[in-house]
C-alpha cells in the first residue's frame, strides 16, 4: 500500500467514525430534549377516522389528552368510545373546519374544557378523483376550503394560545400530492401544494415564538378512505384505479406505522417528515429533474380512465364494481373497519 492509498483509507475511516458519532450524538440529544406528551392537550382535525384516528391512538398510548373533531357525529362517538377505553380523556367536537367561525369556536371550546391547548394536528382533508375536464371551479374551491383554509383557520386560532403559554407544536398533514401534481387529482394537488407552502412558511416564522411546525408528506395509506372520496367522470373506473393503488402494499403505507413516525417527528420537533422511501425518492427526483417527473406524469395519465363529460359527483362507496373488488382491494375494505371509515 502506498502512502496515498493509506491516507485515503484513513480519511474514509475517520469520516465514517465522525458521521457515526454525529448521528449518535444527535439521537441522544433528541431523546434528552424529546417533547413529553403526557398530559398535553392535542387537537386533531379529522380525528375520528383514518390516519387521524391512528394518530389519536398513538397519542393516547403516550398519555395525551385528546380533542378530536369531524363532521360525522356517529364516527366521532365510535372514536370516543374506543379512545376512552385506553384510559384517555377525550373531547369530541362536531364541526366543519372549512367554516372559520366554527373553527374559532372549536379551538375556544378545547381551551375552555381542558384549560389549555398544547398541540394542533391539521389532518382533515378531502379528495376528488377524476379528469380535469369534469372538475369545475366549485371542486377547486371545496378542496382549497378544506385542505388549505381550514389549516390556516386552526393555526390562526391556536397561535395566540401557544404564544400565551410560551410554546406550542403544529403538525400539518400534507401529501406527496403537494410536491408532485398527480393526474386525475388536480384540485387535491393544487390545495396540497398550497398547504405545503403554508406549513413551510409558518415553520420559518413561528420558530421565534417557540412554536414548532412539522410538515408531513405522506404517500398513499391503507386506511379504507377511498370509500369516502368524491368521484367524477367514469365513476366506476376512476374509483377502481384509486382504490387499487391505495390498497396496494407496494404503493401504500400502513396507517399505524405512519402514525408512529408522525408522533415521533412531533416529539422531536422535526421541520419535515417524508413518510416512505418511495415518497422520498419521488421528492428527490422532482427536485433534481422536474421536467422528467412531469413527463412521467404525462405518460401515467394515458393509462388512467378516459375522460367523460359527466360532472356528476358520487362517493367512493357508491362507485363500487367488480373492478374495485378482489384480493388487493380487500386490504382497503378491511382497513375501513379498523379505521372507522364505514
* pLDDT tens column, 113-163: 999 999 999 999 999 999 999 999 999 999 999 999 999 999 999 999 999
Rounded to whole angstroms, the Cα distance separating 73 from 287 reads 42
Q: What is the pLDDT of residues 5-35, one digit of tens each?
A: 555 666 767 777 776 776 666 566 666 679 9
Q: What is the DSSP letter of 77?
A: H
Give pairs for 284-293: CB < 8 Å, separation 24+: 286/179, 286/180, 293/180
pLDDT of res. 151: 98
Q: With b meaning 16 or more CB within 10 Å and e meaning fewer, what string describes 117-143?
A: bbbbbbbbbbbbbbbeebbeeebbebb
* Fold classified for 35-279+291-338: Rossmann fold (3.40.50)
Assign 326 to helix, strand or coil. Answer: coil
What secondary structure letter does DSSP report for 116? -
CA 150/CA 152 separation, integer angstroms: 5
Q: How wide is the angle at C-alpha 98 spanned by C-alphas 94 and 102, nearest 5°?
A: 50
In a 13 Å sphere around the CA of 267, the CA atoms on its Cβ side amount to 21
154 grid coordinates: 386552526
Q: Which residues of the chain have pLDDT under 50?
A: none
Residue 101 has which C-alpha cell?
367561525
Question: What amino acid positions are annotated as catalytic residues?
Answer: 188
Parallel, antiparallel or unpaired: strands 90-94 and 65-70: parallel
State pTM to two decimals: 0.91
Q: How far apart are CA 338 and CA 44, in angstroms?
A: 18
Coil, helix or strand at residue 261? helix
pLDDT number for residue 22: 66
339 close to 49: Cβ distance less than 8 angstroms: yes
Residue 168 backbone dihedrals phi, psi, to 5 degrees: -175, 160
pLDDT of residue 254: 95
Q: Where are the domains of the chain?
A: 35-279+291-338
On whether the CB atoms of residues 203 and 215 are closer than 8 A, the answer is: yes
Amino acid at each position: 500500500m502506498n502512502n496515498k492509498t493509506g491516507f485515503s483509507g484513513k480519511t474514509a475511516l475517520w469520516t465514517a467514525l465522525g458521521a457515526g458519532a454525529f448521528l449518535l450524538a444527535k439521537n441522544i440529544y433528541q431523546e434528552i430534549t424529546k417533547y413529553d406528551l403526557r398530559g398535553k392537550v392535542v387537537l386533531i382535525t379529522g380525528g375520528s377516522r383514518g390516519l387521524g384516528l391512528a394518530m389519536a391512538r398513538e397519542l393516547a398510548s403516550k398519555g395525551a389528552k385528546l380533542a378530536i373533531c369531524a363532521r360525522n357525529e356517529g364516527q366521532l362517538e365510535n372514536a370516543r368510545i374506543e379512545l376512552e377505553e385506553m384510559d384517555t380523556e377525550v373531547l369530541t367536537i362536531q364541526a366543519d373546519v372549512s367554516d372559520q367561525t366554527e373553527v374559532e369556536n372549536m379551538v375556544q371550546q378545547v381551551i375552555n374544557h381542558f384549560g389549555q391547548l398544547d398541540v394542533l394536528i391539521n389532518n382533515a382533508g378531502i379528495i376528488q378523483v377524476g379528469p380535469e375536464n369534469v372538475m369545475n371551479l366549485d371542486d377547486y374551491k371545496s378542496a382549497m376550503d378544506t385542505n388549505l383554509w381550514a389549516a390556516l383557520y386552526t393555526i390562526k386560532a391556536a397561535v395566540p394560545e401557544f404564544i400565551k403559554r410560551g410554546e406550542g407544536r403544529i403538525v400539518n398533514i400534507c401529501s406527496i400530492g403537494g410536491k408532485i401534481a398527480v393526474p386525475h387529482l388536480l384540485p387535491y394537488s393544487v390545495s396540497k401544494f398550497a398547504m405545503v407552502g403554508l406549513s413551510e412558511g409558518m415553520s420559518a416564522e413561528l420558530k421565534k415564538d417557540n412554536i414548532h411546525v412539522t410538515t408531513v408528506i405522506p404517500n398513499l395509506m391503507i386506511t379504507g378512505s377511498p370509500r369516502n372520496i368524491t368521484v367524477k367522470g367514469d365513476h366506476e373506473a376512476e374509483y377502481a384505479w384509486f382504490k387499487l393503488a391505495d390498497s396496494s402494499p407496494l404503493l401504500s403505507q400502513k396507517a399505524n406505522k405512519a402514525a408512529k413516525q408522525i408522533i415521533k417527528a412531533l416529539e422531536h420537533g422535526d421541520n419535515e417528515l417524508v413518510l416512505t422511501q418511495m415518497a422520498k425518492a419521488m421528492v428527490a427526483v422532482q427536485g433534481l429533474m422536474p421536467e422528467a417527473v412531469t413527463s412521467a406524469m404525462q405518460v401515467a395519465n394515458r393509462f388512467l380512465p378516459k375522460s367523460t363529460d359527466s360532472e356528476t359527483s358520487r362517493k367512493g362507496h357508491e362507485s363500487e364494481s367488480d373492478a374495485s373488488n378482489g384480493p388487493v382491494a380487500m386490504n382497503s375494505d378491511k382497513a375501513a373497519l379498523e379505521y372507522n371509515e364505514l
